[in-house]
């Protein structure tokens, strides 16, 4: 019984870590580029954040590719 609970606990921990990895890893370059430097503050570049976010928005990529195939014949 203890072994089963231990395996369930390991699977739960693994699934949580995997979910966090999938959610946060694509945004690491944006976060590191726009980090808050209190000694030398810089404005946040919103264009890079939004363009980077769109790159990971899968329906947007699907419809863009579908539109290129239909309109351009590629």
User: Residue 9: what pLDDT?
Assistant: 92
User: Residue 24: what pLDDT?
Assistant: 65
Exposed e or buried b per residue across 29-45, where buried means at least 16 C-beta atoms within 10 angstroms of its C-beta:
ebeeebeeeeeeeeeee
Helix (H, G, I), strand (E, B) or coil at 50: helix
pTM score above 0.85? no
User: Residue 37: what pLDDT?
Assistant: 54
Question: Hey, how many other C-beta atoms are within 10 angstroms of the C-beta on 20?
Answer: 10
pLDDT in tens, 10-69: 999 988 888 777 666 655 555 555 555 555 555 555 555 555 555 555 555 555 556 555
User: What is the band of 8 on the pLDDT scale with cuts at 50, 70, 90?
Assistant: very high
């Amino acid at each position: 019984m203890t072994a089963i609970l231990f395996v369930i606990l390991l699977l739960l921990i693994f699934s949580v870590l995997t979910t966090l990895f999938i959610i946060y890893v694509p945004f690491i370059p944006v976060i590191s580029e726009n980090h808050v430097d209190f000694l030398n503050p810089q404005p946040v570049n919103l264009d890079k954040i939004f363009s980077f976010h769109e790159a990971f928005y899968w329906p947007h990529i699907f419809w863009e590719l579908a539109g290129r195939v239909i309109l351009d014949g590629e």
